Amino acid sequence: MNAPLSLTTPAVSVDIAGVNLSYGSNHVLKDVNLAIEPGEFFAFLGPSGCGKTTLLRLIAGFNQADTGHVRIGGRDITDLPPWKRDVGMVFQSYALWPHMTVRRNVAFGLEERGVKRAEVERRVETALGLVGLGHLADRRPSQLSGGQQQRVAVARTVAIEPKVLLLDEPLSNLDAKMRVQVRRELRDLQQRLGLTTIFVTHDQEEANTICDRIAVMNDGIVQQVGTPMELYERPANLFVAGFLGTANILKGRVVGSDGARAFEVEGGVTVPIAETTELPENPTLVFRPQHATFAAAGGVAGEDALGLPCTITHREFLGASIRYGVRIGSTEVAVDMPFQSGSELRESGSQATLKLSPRSLRWLPA
Amino acid sequence: MLNRRVALAATLGLSLSASLATIALAQAPSGKVTVVTSFSKDVTDPFKKAFEKAVPGVTLEVQNRNTNAGVKYVEETKSNNQVDLFWASAPDAFEVLKGKKLLTAYKPKATGIPEKIGSYPINDPQGFYFGFAASGYGIMWNDRYAKANKLPEPKDWQDLAKPVFYDHVSIASPARSGTTHLTVETILQGEGWEKGWRILKEMAGNFRSITDRSFGVPEAVNSGQVGVGIVIDFFAFSAQASGFPVKFVYPTVTTVVPANVGIIANPPNKAAAEAFIEFLLSPTGQEVLLDPGIRRLPVNPEVYAKAGADYPNPFTDPRFQKMIGFDVDKSEARTAVVDTLFDQLISFQLDALKGVTKTLHEVDAALAKKPNPQAKALADEARNLIAALPVNQVQAGSPELRGAFTGAKEKGARQAEIESQWASFARDNYAKAKAKAEEALKAAK
Amino acid sequence: MTAVPTLTPPRARRFAATPGQIALALAIAAFLLMFLVLPVATVIYVAFTDKGTSTFTLVNFYDFFRTELFMRSLWNSFYVSAMSVVWASVFALPLAYLTTRFVFRGAALVQTLGFLPLIMPPFVGAVAMQLFFGRNGSVNLLLDDWFGFKIDFMEGLNGVIFVQSIHYFPFILINLSAALRNVDRAMEEAAQNLGSSGFRLFRRIVFPLAMPGYLAGASLVFVKVFDDLATPLLLNVKDMLAPQAYLRVTSIGIADPMGYVISVVLIVASVAAMWLSARALKGRDYATTQRGGGGLAKRVMTPWEAVLGYGTVILILALVLAPHLGLLLLSFATIWSFAPLPDAYTLAHYGRVFGESSVYIKNTLIYASLAGGIDIVLGVAIAYLVLRTKLIGREWLDWMASAALAIPGVVLGIGYLRTFYGVTLPDGTPLASLWITIVLALAIRRLPYALRACYAALQQISVSLEEAAENLGATKSRTVRRVVVPLMAGGILAGFVTSFSTAAVELSATLMLVQSNSDAPLAYGLYVFMQSAAGRGPGAALGVVAVILVAACTFLSHLIIERSQKAKGLGH
């Protein structure tokens, strides 16, 4: 990839305010509010059926909101038809037209805009150069590999110099190795163009590795917006906690009051709660597998650490670490221990004490 | 026929033996008799009913095909013939069948039928086919159409060449319709070869359309798509009987020609086929012709007693007595030539012919207002160019020319070559005539 | 890696067909030779013989190209066929596009009604059309009354184009609709996203993607119009090729090879048109391989678009169904002559039809169903052999079957008589006199329709679905039965319906082969009625019965297939 594309328009923001959308009785988007910064690489992340693609298509103009507004660079585009929005979209299936060559595919949007022929040719060259496919311009889409097709789809979209770039699961049709390569290329391209980009995916790893910020969606609702690290460290709810990485979730109830508060995990084990801790309604205790360790035989070291009696149920070797299945009360959780050769392994069935730092605990509403 | 039935009755009466009766029955007409016909259901149904009543035990199986397809069918299936009778209007179709040895001779026993109707012999002299009904050719028109377009009532062929009828007349192609072929041949014989063609072409200049099947003409007149049609009489009579607002007239030069029936060579059920012919010619059969859906002229003069007073009777009506005689041999010798001439000079050049005719009508209109001998002379030249013919009467009947059309074994001119010559003859002449007519129009104005 | 000498046979061997496939191909070839090539050859060989000597010659073709009339006819036939394709497209495009790509109330009804013009009973159809659009038809009488002018809908070549495009546009409608349904919605959206909309979007993206379906329909229209003789003759247009052939072949007493020469030209031209349309798509990858969202999502029209859309659809339907309306009026009319409407109405014609003609209706249903059945079996088999095997010469099966489209019915009819009349059953009945001969002739005449539908259906099935079945242990034949045929069901049905309904109103070949009234189909009954003034009403009534019957069967089979598709989870 060489010749940078000159973008005359500065990056713009995308604001989504109070958007609701229903298909009959099926409420697909529920009061969605998002503010996407200019030049940001933003992801809509969630399981299939969460409404992320619907939201993306709404920005492109293929779906109409029942209520709410979409603004791009401050301009309300809610009622504009798709072809007047200047929002470039790369489709999941790429949607390359089989009856046109690569060159004609890329030129299409420019021709529709009435760009002069010479200028069209120049910009097609630039766009194809940008994705490194200049030499395949006269092939037909069916003669290209999946990765190449994907890059043509991107080139076709950026050729029109859109204000916003929308990517609908652009990596889902690629193999694992290509996926890693292409996502890096996409990030690279976005950085060079400085283009506000929205990326739809169900794969948290994809979102984490290339996006500035992520909106986690479920059931038509934006669950949380934040950088990948914020979402991992401070999930706003059980769904976010569980969707990004592995989370251990202990259900139970609060017993006692004030300084003598404790959390009784289902199945009997009790965890004391620090006086300063603010608890949500009906709390659940959440921690990541790598945030727990086993106490050395004989007791809990360290004053504020919590010790929970537990039983080892099974063991998996993951390479860099060993994952233990551990039962606390009636709940099974995962505990990751770094693997060092020669270190002592715990056998399944043995009793142990799980050591947790209060700082690594999250109290989330059930 | 009668004798045989008496014999049958006698046998039955004398013998009580079932086996004997079976043998006797096998000799009497029985079973299925198949007839290929061009007649419509309205004609065949009453006959079927009456015939099956008159000759019990015989079923009439009707195969409806147009005349041409019927001839083709009989020809193609002769190796294993399943057809007993051929029953159609056009005598020339029977001539073709006879020529190809596809008919069986028979001598009808029916009495009371004269030799000739008008001047046309009712039966084939060699006894291969027999007339059972007569039809005359004439002009049919739609009354509502005529009123709306202010057309006068035509009386004769020449009337149809008048400017007022321009684009209002329809005819079936003589190559496709045996009856129309006879009409054309009648005009040619009645007026002579040269004059006949002149009249035909002058009429043709007013043609709206040339249909490829006989019934196409009355159909178009019935529904009012075309004002005037050149048709066989019963088309008009049966349309009138059905309530259509149509009228009909016999022109002075016409003829009555019999519609015929004949036995196919090698018939599967000869006895029943003969029985059918006898029935057709019997008074009972003849009376069926008076049915309002059929309306054809019986060949047995006595049957007219049962018809209404206004029913045309060719045996007493003086109009029919004046009608010209018809030379069957002459017609037969030049059938293909006449039809092909008509197609090449008229059907396939109709647009050109109509174009020049229209201009000539305009010249006439201008001359009527202000006579102009120079324009008149030019118009006459144009008319002569139109009337010119690529072959004369003698050539038309010559065996050489005939051979080109009937696949004669000897080497000679191919039909396509001759057609091509005639077509360019007509095209050139009509183009020249058009130029003359334009000139005449300029002079007349 | 060390070089290992390869002991496997050359790759080409892999493509050799299974014995079953070879046997199937041979069986089909034998069938086509027996019932198509041989009978036709017995008739048209005359075109290649010298007059008098019966030796081989091409002089007749020389004559053909030298005769002004034939050259004019050839050009007219091309002109009329091409213009009919244009106008048929004008009628079909809006109907197909609106009903497949939009939420359109009554889309199924439009599709069914849009099929009706194909079922135009012979003779009465033309009469009804004349009464409506003719020089003194209802429309022109009213126009003349109100505005003092007339429009020549039915005059000359333009009249032929008008009638033919109304009659045959369903071919484009059916094929184009199927293709449009298969265009991935993302293809359209991608273009909108890049700034394209409205007609440009249709012209640049949607229509090109539906091209295979459109071309399939358009080539059928072209060939049918090129080879149709009935319409030009009914409009009294004779300077076209098919009527010229017919007029010459059926003139009595004339033994002219020109009719057969023209037949040969017709066959060659039709096969060439089919070949060209196949050629145009060759090596191109179209809608069939698209993945993703599927083409079934439909857009909602804005109120303004809806008014325009429904207006257009109603206008087109009114135009193309006018002949059927005319037919209906005619069937109730006492006298209808030179008037915008009949003089009075009666039910008597239906009484006569039901009294006399139920045997025609029964025969028609039997013959047309059998012919349609034979056609789809052959159609599936030929499509499979051509598309899925590497048998040498397999395309010839396709060309042979498609050539049937171009053979005038009367030539086939005469050929059957000539070939099979000499062949007798043990009791002496000629083979050609059995009603099964009519069925075979109908099947051969309508095979191209079913074949094209089966072909398109098979093209849209990914080979990987068959490979999956084979991988799981299914043999070729079981794969065809359990995977291919169920997936092709829609296309097969479309083929059956087209074959069935057009066979039900076929006349030219039937007329030659009907041996007795009790074996006669409906078209023959119509012919018999339409030969007399009194038969016009009953003829129209029989025509209405035919249309309703065929339409009902069409609709019923749609319902059946939809239900079974739904049960299989294939439908929508």
B347–C52: do the CB atoms touch at under 8 Å?
no
Distance CA C61, CA C44 (A): 13
Residues 6+ apart with CB under 8 A from C193: A60, A61, A82, A83, A85, A87, A88, A89, A157
Tell me the pLDDT band of A96, cut-offs 50, 70 and 90.
confident
pLDDT, residue B1, reads: 41
- Residue C531 with chain B: CB contacts under 8 Å: 38-42, 64, 215
Tell me phi and psi for residue A335, to 5 degrees: -130, 125
Tell me the residues of C at the A interface, defined by beta carbons under 8 Å apart.
184, 186-187, 189-197, 200-201, 204-205, 208-209, 211, 284-287, 289-293
Are the C-beta atoms of B209 and C236 separated by less than 8 Å? yes
Distance from CA of C280 to the nearest CA of A (A): 12
Question: Chains meeting C at 3+ CB pairs closer than 8 A?
Answer: A, B
Q: E-assigned strands of A85-243?
A: 87-90, 164-168, 196-201, 213-218, 221-226
Instruction: Quick: pLDDT tens for C145-194.
Output: 898 888 888 888 998 999 899 989 998 998 888 778 777 778 888 888 88
Q: Among A80, A32, A64, A43, which Cα is nearest to A190's? A: A43
pLDDT, residue B328, reads: 75
- Residue C414 with chain B: CB contacts under 8 Å: 72, 76
**Burial of A310 per CB tally in 10 Å (0-12, 13-18, 19+):** buried
**Burial of B407 per CB tally in 10 Å (0-12, 13-18, 19+):** middle
Residues in chain B: 445
Distance CA A2, CA A24 (A): 49
Name the amino acid, one letter, at C301. M
The CATH homologous superfamily of the domain defined by A14-237: P-loop containing nucleotide triphosphate hydrolases (3.40.50.300)
pLDDT of residue C420 exceeding 80, the answer is yes
Q: Among A203, A184, A169, which Cα is nearest to A90's? A: A169
Structure token digits, residue A203: 């794969």
Statement: the pTM of the whole predicted model exceeds 0.95: no
Least confidently predicted of A161-170, A310-319, B83-92, B408-417? B408-417
pLDDT, residue B36, reads: 92
- Residue C205 with chain A: CB contacts under 8 Å: 97
**Burial of A211 per CB tally in 10 Å (0-12, 13-18, 19+):** buried
C195–A112: do the CB atoms touch at under 8 Å?
yes
Distance CA B428, CA B433 (A): 9
**For chain B, which domains are there?**
2-135+257-322 (3.40.190.10), 136-255+327-444 (3.40.190.10)
Distance CA A297, CA B17 (A): 127
Per-residue H/E/C for chain B:
CHHHHHHHHHHHHHCCCHHHHHHHHHHCCCEEEEEEECCCHHHHHHHHHHHHHHCCCEEEEEEECCHHHHHHHHHHCHHHCCCCEEEECCHHHHHHHHHCCCEECCCCCCCCCCCEECCEECECCCCCEEEEEEEEEEEEEEHHHHHHCCCCCCCCHHHHHCHHHCCCEEEECCCCCHHHHHHHHHHHHHHCHHHHHHHHHHHHCCEEEEECCCCHHHHHHHHCCCCEEEEEHHHHHHHHHHCCCEEEECCCCCCEEEEEEEEECCCCCHHHHHHHHHHHHCHHHHHHCCCCCCCCEECCHHHHHHCCCCCCCCCCCHHHHHCCCCCHHHHHHHHHHHHHHHHHHCHHHHHHHHHHHHHHHHHHHHHHHCCCHHHHHHHHHHHHHHHCCCCCHHHHCCHHHHHHHCCCCCCCCCHHHHHHHHHHHHHHHHHHHHHHHHHHHHHHC
A80 touches chain C (CB under 8 A): no
B40–C535: do the CB atoms touch at under 8 Å?
yes
B215–C335: do the CB atoms touch at under 8 Å?
no
Q: Between chain B and chain C, how many beta carbons pairs sit less than 8 Å apart? A: 204
Report, as an integer, the average pLDDT of C292-304.
64
Structure token digits, residue C543: 């025509």
Instruction: Quick: pLDDT tens for A9-42.
Output: 688 999 999 999 988 888 899 999 999 999 999 9
Task: Provide the sign of the torsion angle of the four alpha carbons C484, C486, C488, C492, taken in this order.
Answer: positive
In chain A, where does the domain assigned CATH 3.40.50.300 lie?
A: 14-237
3-state secondary structure of A87: strand
pLDDT, residue B197, reads: 95
Report, as an integer, the average pLDDT of A123-127.
92
A184 touches chain C (CB under 8 A): no
Structure token digits, residue A196: 């506000």
pLDDT of residue A302 exceeding 80, the answer is no
C531–B415: do the CB atoms touch at under 8 Å?
no
What is the overall mean pLDDT for chain A?
A: 86
pLDDT, residue A303, reads: 58
C209–A157: do the CB atoms touch at under 8 Å?
no
Distance CA B66, CA C300 (A): 55
State what percent of residues in chain C have pLDDT above 70. 89
Least confidently predicted of A50-59, B311-320, C35-44? B311-320
Per-window interface: A 2-61 vs C, CB < 8 A: 60-61
Q: Tokens 């999941």 correspond to what residue?
A: A92
CA atoms within 13 A on the CB side of A160: 33
Instruction: Quick: pLDDT tens for A134-152.
Output: 999 999 888 888 889 989 9
State what percent of residues in chain A have pLDDT above 70. 95
CATH class of A248-365: mainly beta
- Residue B82 with chain C: CB contacts under 8 Å: 430, 433, 515
- What was the ipTM of the complex prediction? 0.80
Tell me the pLDDT band of C294, cut-offs 50, 70 and 90.
very low
A99–C208: do the CB atoms touch at under 8 Å?
yes
Instruction: Quick: pLDDT tens for C211-256.
Output: 878 888 898 899 888 888 878 887 888 889 888 888 887 776 566 7
Nearest to C192 among A82, A97, A142 (CB): A82
Are the C-beta atoms of B404 and B418 separated by less than 8 Å? yes
Structure token digits, residue B351: 């647009």
Q: How far is CA C21 from CA C10, C18, C27, C386, in A?
A: 21, 5, 10, 11
pLDDT of residue A2 exceeding 50, the answer is no
What are the counts of helices (DSSP H) followed by strands (DSSP E) for chain A?
A: 8, 21
pLDDT, residue C558, reads: 67
Report, as an integer, the average pLDDT of C416-428.
78
Tell me the pLDDT band of C453, cut-offs 50, 70 and 90.
confident
Are the C-beta atoms of A76 and A69 separated by less than 8 Å? yes
- Residue C211 with chain A: CB contacts under 8 Å: 99
CATH class of C17-45+70-283+303-568: mainly alpha
Name the amino acid, one letter, at C303. P
pLDDT of residue C295 exceeding 50, the answer is no
Report, as an integer, the average pLDDT of A94-108.
87
Dihedral angle at the C-alpha atoms of B76, B78, B79, B80, nearest 10 degrees? 110
pLDDT of residue C274 exceeding 90, the answer is no
Distance CA A10, CA C568 (A): 53
Please, what are the averages of pLDDT over each run of 10 residues along chain B (445 residues)?
A: 43 40 53 90 89 92 84 84 90 85 91 81 90 90 93 92 94 85 87 92 93 87 92 89 91 82 93 93 92 87 86 80 72 86 92 94 92 91 94 86 71 79 93 93 87
Strand B228-232 relative to strand A262-265, pairing: unpaired
Q: How far is CA A129 from CA A134, A146, B303, C193, in A?
A: 5, 18, 101, 22
pLDDT, residue B228, reads: 95
pLDDT of residue A7 exceeding 60, the answer is no
pLDDT, residue B365, reads: 92
Nearest to C533 among B244, B340, B414 (CB): B244
Report, as an integer, the average pLDDT of C16-27.
83
Nearest to A142 among C190, C195, C285 (CB): C285
Sketch the domain layout of chain C as residue ranges. 17-45+70-283+303-568
pLDDT, residue B227, reads: 93
Least confidently predicted of A76-85, A299-308, B248-257, C478-487? A299-308
